[in-house]
Amino acid sequence: MCFTMGMSACLATISFASAYYEYRCFRSYQYSLGIAYWGVMESLQVAQHFYAAGPEDNYAMCENRVNQKLAQLGNVHLIFQPLFFSLLNMSMFRRHDIEMRIIGDFLFRLCLVVALWFASHSWISILMGVDQGLLPPATKECPNYQWMMEGYDGYLQKTTPNIPGRPCVFYTPTETGHLAWAIPIFKQTYFFPSPAVHFLLFFFPYLVMFKYPFLQFTAFCFWVTGPYLSKNLTPSVNEQPAIWCFYSVIQVGLYAFSVRWFGLHKTPIPARIHHSGAYGEEPLTYVRQGGNNSKSSSSSNGNNQQNNGTLPLEEPKHV
């Protein structure tokens, strides 16, 4: 298998065209941004192909500043991926469901805070007074099994060609022949997160949404066709995340198809929201007033207002 710059350019074009088409259909900025974001990564990979280091010149391009900056931009894109995945996943459900809007807003803020947390290592070092330096490159005696980390790859049994302490985009000596990233990783402490937080935010919030089996199914499918598939395509831990980013456009395309197949864009406004309570709490039930969206409904204080897709709710009923 061989991944090329032309394939990345094609997928980027498909991603942007799909985002535009879906916006024309649904007028949802969040849904379209969730689609287009993966096209941004493929556009970035197109640029990375121009400057990627290869064995033909003994990986001399790893010393190129543009190469290093492109590797850093790829890392920044990864940091914000859970945030845009939440936009994609929640957008159709939150169109008419106030419960999902509350959950979606919380998840968006959580992903944003964590992304900024990853990007704030310098400030953490100053404010907390801790040594938030880089992890030393992995060695043959102490190999690396973590995605993108510089140094000796325990699976591929080769050392990344980057200058120690600096990022690099390069081609690995594997059958897949895709781009790979070597990124200096900061020490994980109580004040600074591990890259595994990306996995946590990308999959686990949806796996525990038992009320929405479609989201559970989506998270499982993205895991199988993303990190699991890339792990089985190449042994290189520096190449695996880049391959997943390549396939992400296809994943998102299948998600958009599923939205129509399962009719998620036609989900009706729930007439009743019920929470059974936990640990001794009384159950709460909220009932939507009025009929459909085209009719006016009265608010809880008796004033008439137009129901423009919102959910006017009565006082909670104890049942």
Q: Per-residue confidence of the chain (319 residues) as pLDDT tens digits?
A: 568 899 999 999 999 999 999 999 999 999 999 999 999 999 999 999 999 999 998 999 999 999 999 999 999 999 999 999 999 999 998 888 888 999 999 999 999 999 999 888 766 666 666 666 778 888 999 998 999 999 999 999 999 999 998 999 999 989 888 999 999 888 888 888 888 999 999 999 999 999 889 999 999 999 999 999 999 999 999 999 999 999 999 999 999 999 989 888 787 778 888 888 888 889 988 888 765 443 333 333 434 434 444 444 544 444 4
Q: How far apart are CA 6 and CA 183, in angstroms?
A: 25
Q: Which of 237, 170, 178 is nearest to 7 (CA)?
A: 178
131 in a domain, yes or no?
yes
Tokens 């200096």 belong to which residue?
Answer: 184
Are 261 and 282 part of one and the same domain?
no
From residue 185, alpha-carbon distances to 113, 141, 146, 243 in Å are 19, 18, 10, 20
Are 243 and 111 part of one and the same domain?
yes
3-state secondary structure at position 90: helix
From residue 314, alpha-carbon distances to 249, 283, 309 in Å are 42, 15, 16
The pLDDT value recorded for residue 318 is 47
Are 63 and 96 part of one and the same domain?
yes
197 in a domain, yes or no?
yes
312 in a domain, yes or no?
no
Q: What angle do CA 300, 95, 253 make, to 5 degrees?
A: 170
Are 170 and 23 part of one and the same domain?
yes
Q: What angle do CA 12, 19, 99 make, to 5 degrees?
A: 130
The pLDDT value recorded for residue 295 is 38
Q: How far apart are CA 169 and CA 66, in angstroms?
A: 10
* Main-chain dihedrals φ then ψ at residue 285, nearest 5 degrees: -135, 130
Q: Pick the last residue of a domain from 235, 251, 266.
A: 266
Q: How many domains does the structure of the chain reveal?
A: 2
Are 134 and 234 part of one and the same domain?
yes
Q: Which of 253, 246, 214 is nearest to 19 (CA)?
A: 253
pTM: 0.84
Contact 30/91 with Cβ under 8 angstroms?
A: yes
β-strand partners of 304 = 298
The pLDDT value recorded for residue 305 is 39
Amino acid at 263: G
The pLDDT value recorded for residue 126 is 60
Furthest-apart CA atoms within the chain: distance in Å: 76
Are 228 and 286 part of one and the same domain?
no
Are 150 and 292 part of one and the same domain?
no
Contact 121/186 with Cβ under 8 angstroms?
A: yes
Tokens 């999959």 belong to which residue?
Answer: 203
Q: Which of 33, 12, 24 is nearest to 91 (CA)?
A: 33
Q: Please list, in sequence order, all residues whose beta carbon lies within 8 angstroms of the beta carbon of residue 127, skipping any fewer than 6 positions away.
A: none
